[in-house]
Amino acid sequence: MVGRCYETEQILPFGPWVEALRAAVTGLDRGVLGSLDPTRRAELARLLPEIAEASPGPASASDDYLRLFEAVARLLEILTVTPPFAVILEDLHWADEMSVRLFGFLARRAGGWPLLLVGTSRAEEIGEAPLLRRVMEELRAERHVAALTLSPLSEAETHDLVQILGSAGTHQAALGHVAEQVWTLSEGNPFVAVETMRALHEGHRFGPSTIALPERVREAIGSRLERLSPLARDVVAVAAVIGRQFDFALLQRAAGLDEREAAAGVEELVRRRVLHGVGVRLDFAHDRIRQVAYGALLPARRTRLHAAVGNAIESTYGDALAPHHGALGVHYRHGEIWDRAVRYLRLAGNDAVACSASREAVAYSEQALEVVTHLPEGMGRSEAAYNLEMMRAALFFPLAELPRALDGLREAEALAHGLRDDARLGRVNVLRPFCLTTMGEHAAAIETGERGLAMAESAGLVPFQAVARVLLGFAHIGAGNLPTAITFLRRSADLLEGQPAGRRFGFIGLPAVLWRSWLVMPLAELGVFPDAIAHGEEAIRIAEEAAQPYSLTLAHATLGHAHCIKGDYARAIPALERFETLCRDYEIPVLFAFASWLGYAYAMTGRLAEAVPLLEDAVERSASLRGLWWQSRRMTHLAEAYLWSGRVDDARRAAERALALADTHGERGNRAYALRLFGELEGAGHYLEQARALAEELGMRPLVARCQLELGRLYRRVGDSAQARPQLTAALANLRAMDMRFWAEQADAELASAAP
């Protein structure tokens, strides 16, 4: 049977409440009333005016309200002869004393009736309704009474609610975006969600990315906060300035209260559901409460409280401030304690760099740069600005925002000139080559790097000398000057001898990992695989021990590169897949170019459906970010994948682009790889001979051996065994000497086929 539900509206005084009940009964459909026997109908007719006329107030005699309560109970008992029947009393926290007493009376009396009696109240409001709290506690002992706490809506339920409340004809994609914003704003609170949708329907226009807190919600929260005691209002103001999740001791100190006063204020806020416990800490029951409380503060008081919170953090956690650097910087910034704000924001940025949270570190450095403008003019202000500009410029590098990094270095350079400080100028010229090389400007990078190295040596800055040599090694790798690159990188290792391997010296990565990782590449290109792999594995070990994501990502990338050159794809793929995961998880787009090696390894193992999209993405991303370092090699990898996929025309165009890029950026080693591919594409021995000659000149033994193998194949296919066998024999000997088994097996098979 379908139940009938007759619901009273929210009524504060008792009299209108019972009048609403009488009106609801009078309005029952005739089917319900007609099902009653004549005796009950007559009794019902007698009870209705009696109930309407009684309506005793709080001062009425107990006999009067008991007689009324009995009449209401009897009325409901009569109606329940046609079950099911339900009475819902909403918002009991706003009801007067007599209404609450009637609810308790009916709940006890109706235990054996086929009646569902529902009373609703907001948990956060019960603290202000002691009688209701006591009645509800007493009713919990009744066997037929159940207390249900409604949890917040889930994200899916909030989305469903938005769909129900959305305007007809609203585009689903737009409604889905609104649902996401409503979920973020409401955190599953139905009142906030409904009021937000109501505000949208009423024509409110909010920002493109966020929805503002609806005025009705703001007013409701503000009303709750206004009903707090003065002590509790003072405590909640301080808590709102602190933010989410805080310790009691911090709140007490920031509020300037003794332990007893602070405890009393917190107890009231917890009872009123403004705060709640999160483990041993405190937090706001909903962040929207904090927003309203914070927004109600006058600017002068807000500034004073931020400064007080900063002082309280320092005194509370004086022996372990590192986790609080960011909070201290923000509080002192808003508290207008400028010198301490700069200090802590910079420390917070360094903390973020240590865990490769570059976006977060940039945000801290930019806040600090804004604060620096409030410091007194002079050398101290210029020095602080220089340090922050250098920090921000270095942070733009892993984010692949290379033009912004160079702009930051120019700002730092101007400040160093103003300070007449050659050491600071040297630091600028040490870091600039990294950006230039990544953009494919190897010659300019080498020139600038040598100038920076000379300045670092003149100033006696050993860590900067070491990093300068790492970056010069990186630039020479790009240009194909592999032995020179190795010399610079090994000298960097000498300079860092005896230094802790896990120390960053203020750089984005660990110098001990940087020189080892970049050394892996030229060693592998020269065919010195045991040393290359040993350095790569050691780099990973150091980075893992230091828990430094940027360094760990680079170390996996270069080790994967070495295994690819060797043809050991079973080891290359795990290293490169780990690299790709780290690169994505820690947002290090500047290193994503190495994803082409993963695509190449996939292609070489027959996984072309995965290889081609990955290679295309690596090429496109590098171009869009102006990260053109070794873009020629990425194009060569893509051309090979196209060739093996049967897309010969696409392969030819990519190979032509690879050759052009190698020539444009002066990458001789990559030119040799592109020429080898042209030889395979065109079946032309002269391209292969050019590639082999250039590879021999550069000492690139693995590429020499592959050119010999391809020449042998070419001669064998045209039936020229006399020329095929010497090439294949030489290729097999070279490949075995370097333990390049994947390619050696192919050379051995080709040699067997070329037998006279």
Stated as kind and residue range, the H or E segment containing 5 is: strand 4-8
Lookup result for tokens 């049967």: 646
Does residue 3 register a pLDDT over 60? Answer: no
Does residue 296 register a pLDDT over 90? Answer: yes
| End-to-end CA, the chain | 95
Residue that finishes a domain, picked among 494, 513, 541: 494
Residue that finishes a domain, picked among 195, 212, 229: 212
The encoded tokens of residue 601 equal: 């390894």
Look at residues 651, 641, 691 and name the one whose alpha carbon lies nearest to residue 670: 691
Does residue 677 register a pLDDT over 90? Answer: yes
Q: Does residue 335 form part of some domain? A: no
Tell me the pLDDT band of 53, cut-offs 50, 70 and 90: low
For 57-97, how does the pLDDT look when each residue is reduced to its tens digit (9 = 90+)?
A: 554 555 667 777 888 888 778 777 766 677 887 778 777 78
Report the percent of the chain where pLDDT is more than 70: 90
Higher pLDDT: 427 or 708? It is 708
Does residue 30 register a pLDDT over 80? Answer: no
Look at residues 452, 588, 415 and name the one whose alpha carbon lies nearest to residue 508: 588
* Mean of all residue pLDDT scores within the chain: 87
Look at residues 425, 430, 478, 480 and name the one whose alpha carbon lies nearest to residue 450: 430
Does residue 687 register a pLDDT over 90? Answer: yes
Look at residues 127, 199, 189, 132 and name the one whose alpha carbon lies nearest to residue 158: 189
d(Cα 531, Cα 515) in Å, to the nearest integer?
13
| pLDDT computed for residue 17 by the predictor | 60
| Contact indicator for 603, 644 with CB cutoff of 8 Å | yes
Looking at the structure, tell me whether residues 486 and 594 fall in a common domain: no
**Residues whose CB falls within 8 Å of the CB of residue 31, separated by 6 or more in sequence, listed in order:** none
For 320-343, how does the pLDDT look when each residue is reduced to its tens digit (9 = 90+)?
A: 999 999 999 999 999 999 999 999
| Contact indicator for 9, 20 with CB cutoff of 8 Å | yes
The winner for highest mean pLDDT among 18-22, 50-54, 620-624 is 620-624
Residue that finishes a domain, picked among 571, 587, 603: 587
> What's 752's DSSP letter?
H
DSSP string, 634-668: HHHHHHHHHHHTT-HHHHHHHHHHHHHHHHHTT-H
Looking at the structure, tell me whether residues 565 and 506 fall in a common domain: yes
Tell me, what CATH number does 609's domain have? 1.25.40.10
Q: Does residue 552 form part of some domain? A: yes
Looking at the structure, tell me whether residues 449 and 544 fall in a common domain: no
Looking at the structure, tell me whether residues 472 and 594 fall in a common domain: no
For 525-555, how does the pLDDT look when each residue is reduced to its tens digit (9 = 90+)?
A: 999 999 999 999 999 999 999 999 999 999 9
Q: Does residue 255 form part of some domain? A: no
> What's 1's DSSP letter?
-
Looking at the structure, tell me whether residues 9 and 112 fall in a common domain: yes
| pLDDT computed for residue 431 by the predictor | 87
- Taking residues 149-165, what's their average pLDDT? 83
Q: Does residue 735 form part of some domain? A: yes
Q: Spell out the SS3 assignment of 577-635.
A: HHHHHHHHHCCCHHHHHHHHHHHHHHHHCCCHHHHHHHHHHHHHHHHHCCCCCCHHHHH
Looking at the structure, tell me whether residues 472 and 526 fall in a common domain: no
| pLDDT computed for residue 749 by the predictor | 93
- Taking residues 412-424, what's their average pLDDT? 92
| pLDDT computed for residue 236 by the predictor | 96
Residue 63: Cβ-neighbour burial (10 angstroms; 0-12, 13-18, 19+): exposed
The encoded tokens of residue 368 equal: 């600090």
d(Cα 267, Cα 576) in Å, to the nearest integer?
54
d(Cα 81, Cα 134) in Å, to the nearest integer?
31
Cis bond before residue 84 (omega within 30° of 0): yes
Does residue 16 register a pLDDT over 70? Answer: no
For 175-197, how does the pLDDT look when each residue is reduced to its tens digit (9 = 90+)?
A: 777 788 788 777 787 877 777 77
| pLDDT computed for residue 144 by the predictor | 82
Looking at the structure, tell me whether residues 15 and 128 fall in a common domain: yes
| pLDDT computed for residue 22 by the predictor | 64
* Number of folded domains that form the chain: 6
Lookup result for tokens 């240590």: 354
Tell me the pLDDT band of 8, cut-offs 50, 70 and 90: very low
Higher pLDDT: 27 or 309? It is 309
Rg over CA atoms, the chain: 38
For 557-587, how does the pLDDT look when each residue is reduced to its tens digit (9 = 90+)?
A: 999 999 999 999 999 999 999 999 999 999 9
Pairing relationship of beta strands 281-284 and 275-278 according to DSSP bridges: antiparallel
3-state secondary structure of 246: strand
For 435-472, how does the pLDDT look when each residue is reduced to its tens digit (9 = 90+)?
A: 999 999 999 999 999 999 999 898 888 888 999 999 99
The encoded tokens of residue 166 equal: 């959305």
Looking at the structure, tell me whether residues 8 and 114 fall in a common domain: yes
- The answer to whether the Cα torsion of 679, 680, 681, 684 is positive or negative is positive
d(Cα 35, Cα 18) in Å, to the nearest integer?
24
Q: Does residue 519 form part of some domain? A: yes
For 347-364, how does the pLDDT look when each residue is reduced to its tens digit (9 = 90+)?
A: 999 999 888 889 999 999
Does residue 688 register a pLDDT over 90? Answer: yes
Q: Spell out the SS3 assignment of 81-142.
A: CCCCEEEEECCHHHCCHHHHHHHHHHHHHHHHCCEEEEECCCHHHHHHCHHHHHHHHHHCCC
Looking at the structure, tell me whether residues 487 and 557 fall in a common domain: no
Other C-beta atoms lying within 10 Å of the C-beta of residue 547: 12
> Which residue(s) pair with 119 in the sheet?
89
Looking at the structure, tell me whether residues 606 and 549 fall in a common domain: no
Provide the residue range defining the domain that includes 483. 421-494
Please count the residues of the chain. Answer: 756
- Beta-strand (E) ranges in 166-300? 275-278, 281-284
| pLDDT computed for residue 391 by the predictor | 92
Look at residues 662, 656, 625, 665 and name the one whose alpha carbon lies nearest to residue 638: 656
| pLDDT computed for residue 251 by the predictor | 96
| pLDDT computed for residue 167 by the predictor | 64
Q: Does residue 282 form part of some domain? A: no
Q: Does residue 280 form part of some domain? A: no
Looking at the structure, tell me whether residues 520 and 547 fall in a common domain: yes
Pairing relationship of beta strands 4-8 and 85-89 according to DSSP bridges: parallel
- Taking residues 110-115, what's their average pLDDT? 80
Q: Does residue 85 form part of some domain? A: yes
Looking at the structure, tell me whether residues 566 and 608 fall in a common domain: no
